[in-house]
Amino acid sequence: MTRGGAEVAVAGAMPHRERAPALRRHAAWWLAALALLALPYLPGLASDFARSLLTQMGIAAVFALSYNVLFGQTGLLSFGHAVYFGLGGYAALHLLRFINQGLPVPLPFVPIAGALGGLLFGILFGAVTTRRAGTIFALISLGVGELVYAATFMLPGLFGGEEGITASRTRAPLLLGIDFGSQLSMYYLVVAWGLLAAVLMYAFARTPVGRLCNAVRDNPERVEFVGYDPQRIRFIAFAVAGLFAGLAGGLSAINYEIVSADAVGAQRSGTVLVMTYIGGARHFAGPVLGAITITWLQIGLSGYTTAWLLYLGLFFIAVILFVPGGLAGLLLMHVPLVKAPGFVRLLGTYALATVPAVIATAGLVVLIEMSYRLATQPELGTRMRLLGIPVDASTAASWTGALAALILGFVVFRATWPTVAAAFERVQAASPSRSRLPPS
Amino acid sequence: MTMSAPALELRAVEKRFGATSILRGVSLSVGVGERHAVIGPNGAGKSTLFNLVSGRLAPTSGSIRLHGTEIAGAPPYAINRRGLSRSFQVTNIFPRLSVFENIRCAVLWSLGYRYSFLRPIDGLGDVREKAERTLERIRMTARRDTPAGVLTYAEQRALEIGVTIAGDANVLLLDEPTAGMSRAEADAAVDLIRTVSDGRTLVIVEHDMSVVFDLADRISVLVYGEIIATDTPARIRANAAVQTAYLGTACHA
């Protein structure tokens, strides 16, 4: 019995294990919880900015996990998942406004309104859109997204139009004396709801319907011939995805204390798709990795450069072309190799290939930044500092130097690739994963 | 449903695609526990017949009864829930799921779990036992955790039969189960089909005549959308009309 490295990660093809004691079986969850609790106190993360970034990563992770219930688990490509995030956000914000006016509900319960809003609209729109799969489903989801986006402008009383609607998260009854004014308490609220949502989605994937979602993804027709209606399965998956997207929207609403039309918009729908794909839709934790990476790019990178969207696009294309399994797939590919002889050598070849790759990337970044400066911000002049290096976009030397770095780096990188591939194949051949297969 | 109702009864079943008539008034009765083979040249309408009976297509006219209940035009899942299960000529499994998961998906409805999403599937002992038993019957226990998409062709055909029988349907429709197999593989498949169809009603479409004459209690010959004969294997072999229409020309015997 052989098994390719990539297949180990295939959802639904998990090897059967004898049931270990509960604590060990759930070790990954406990470790994740501990890490999340400690995270905002680590050096470099103890600022309000960093904690706000972590909070947004957490919200994005829940949203991306909900998207993967559709995409990775059920095979439904949606271009309108932000609808459920946004409408959940509006539901939570309206509840918060009632609370501001005296409704006695403590803040930690507000995200429930978001989840219910997402579920309600997931059921409403899902009943129609999940009648079809594939391309038709994708197109309908795009249409529903545009429809809801337009509706937010047509019903300003409910949605507040472009400016959106606002409320205050501190004007609410206290629970256990916490007022949620600080970014730290907001972070922990997101961690609590996010962990619960992740556990529930993980558990959902391991129920009869969760497994049938995988079957519908693989082969909807065959599902009909084992007694199940694939439409019904898609509908349940859609409602579940709506529920958790709404929860993420609700958390976002109380984090920002505002929800506006862009919460339901096509850009947010596109972003969650990119997060899920880059992280790796075939593994449960993939969307979380993607959410962390993309949020960091959005917030971290946008502080350094106006061209961050361009970098995001390049990154997305590179992942699609070269790492189809996403970041999670890339990591998991190496897990069975860690103990194999030659693994250290493999890491060495990676380091070797990284040097020219960094040089090529640096050349590309300089080219992009100089182009951006000349095209969009000529008033700032042609001189700038990039990665600590002074660059003048008006001199031929800057352009030829950057171009040379790009080309030379790329050529050398390609030249190192056979060495890397050979090292990888050698480690894979010597990998003990064959003998570590579970007993049949 | 009455005691005397045949397992499967077709009356004057017609199927047209636009102006093209594929099935032109097929009538057929298969008794409970019978092993019935449908043979005929390519394009005779055998696969269309299976598609109508299993709900993949709706007949243009006519009646199809399963244990006395009308099922013509019902969706596949409704027909499956009434105890009819089919396999496909082109392997039709869940490629990214493991062999075990393939079988497990196919036993769920028969054990009454319907659209359950409140209980972990690994905790359902009856589901696991039934899936394990099915794996043993198709001799795939050693391949339990292999993704179905990387199995060999013969193994995928065996899994196809496993998915078909896992839900304990009492009427099985097998569409060319030995197509593309070597002699040895086909013999093993026939053995398997004989065991798994024991005590059930079997309708099989097959091109391999040695398989057909080996397995079937009765044979129907379908030519150009019409059944020209239904009889025991010995009489079909001796039937002059069948020989000119099919056996003599197609030369599979």
* pLDDT tens digits, A122-158: 999 999 999 999 999 999 999 999 999 999 989 888 8
Number of domains in chain A: 2
Same domain assignment for residues A283 and A394: no
Same domain assignment for residues A177 and A238: yes
Same domain assignment for residues A174 and A233: yes
Same domain assignment for residues A347 and A284: no
What counts of helices (H) and strands (E) characterise chain B? 10, 10
- B104 and A207 within 8 Å at the Cβ level: the answer is no
- What whole-number distance in Å separates Cα of residue B225 and Cα of residue B206? 16
- What whole-number distance in Å separates Cα of residue B4 and Cα of residue A128? 43
The CATH number given to whatever domain includes residue A291 is 1.10.3470
Whether residue A325 lies inside any domain: the answer is no
CB distance A173 to A106 below 8 Å: yes
3-state secondary structure at position A383: strand
Query: Mean pLDDT for chain A?
Result: 88
- A16 and B166 within 8 Å at the Cβ level: the answer is no
Same domain assignment for residues A78 and A174: yes
Same domain assignment for residues A113 and A206: yes
ipTM score for this prediction = 0.93
- What whole-number distance in Å separates Cα of residue A172 and Cα of residue A132? 43
Query: Mean pLDDT for chain B?
Result: 92
Domain residue limits at A250:
5-14+27-313
- B121 and A228 within 8 Å at the Cβ level: the answer is no
Tell me the shortest Cα–Cα distance from A242 to chain B, in angstroms.
16
- Please check whether residue A218 touches B, CB under 8 A: yes
pLDDT confidence of residue B1: 45
Whether residue A40 lies inside any domain: the answer is yes
- B145 and A13 within 8 Å at the Cβ level: the answer is yes
Alpha helices in chain B (DSSP H): 46-54, 76-81, 99-107, 125-137, 153-165, 183-196, 209-215, 233-238, 240-242, 248-250
Same domain assignment for residues A33 and A92: yes
- Please check whether residue A162 touches B, CB under 8 A: no
- What whole-number distance in Å separates Cα of residue A115 and Cα of residue A414? 48
Whether residue A384 lies inside any domain: the answer is yes
- A13 and B116 within 8 Å at the Cβ level: the answer is no
- A208 and B119 within 8 Å at the Cβ level: the answer is yes
Structural domains of chain B in order of their starting residue, each with its CATH number:
1-79+215-253 (3.40.50.300)
- A211 and B93 within 8 Å at the Cβ level: the answer is no
Q: Is A21 exposed, middle or buried (0-12, 13-18, 19+ CB in 10 A)?
A: exposed
Same domain assignment for residues A281 and A395: no
How is residue A350 written in tokens?
């990676």
Same domain assignment for residues A219 and A175: yes
pLDDT confidence of residue B246: 66
Same domain assignment for residues A166 and A279: yes
Partner residue facing A225 (CB), from B54, B108, B120: B54
| Residue of chain A whose Cα is closest to the Cα of B84 | A225
| Residue of chain A whose Cα is closest to the Cα of B112 | A227
With bands split at pLDDT 50, 70 and 90, how would you rate the model's confidence at A309?
confident
Task: Tell whether the model's pLDDT for residue B252 goes beyond 50.
Answer: no
- When scoring B80, B89, B97, B109 by the number of chain A Cβ atoms within 10 A, the one with the most, hence best to mutate, is B97
CB distance B197 to B172 below 8 Å: yes
- B98 and A1 within 8 Å at the Cβ level: the answer is no
Same domain assignment for residues A387 and A300: no
- A440 and B144 within 8 Å at the Cβ level: the answer is yes
**pTM for the structure as a whole:** 0.90
Task: Tell whether the model's pLDDT for residue A3 goes beyond 50.
Answer: no
Q: What percent of chain B has pLDDT over 70?
A: 95
A313 Cβ contact partners less than 8 Å away, ≥ 6 residues apart: none
With bands split at pLDDT 50, 70 and 90, how would you rate the model's confidence at A161?
confident
Partner residue facing A215 (CB), from B55, B105, B118: B105
Tell me the shortest Cα–Cα distance from A173 to chain B, in angstroms.
33
Same domain assignment for residues A385 and A236: no
Partner residue facing A226 (CB), from B56, B105, B115: B105
- What whole-number distance in Å separates Cα of residue A77 and Cα of residue A217? 11
Segment B103-154, tens digit of pLDDT: 999 999 999 999 999 999 999 999 999 999 999 999 999 999 999 999 999 9
Q: Domain boundary at A313, A347, A365, which?
A: A313
CB distance B190 to B214 below 8 Å: yes
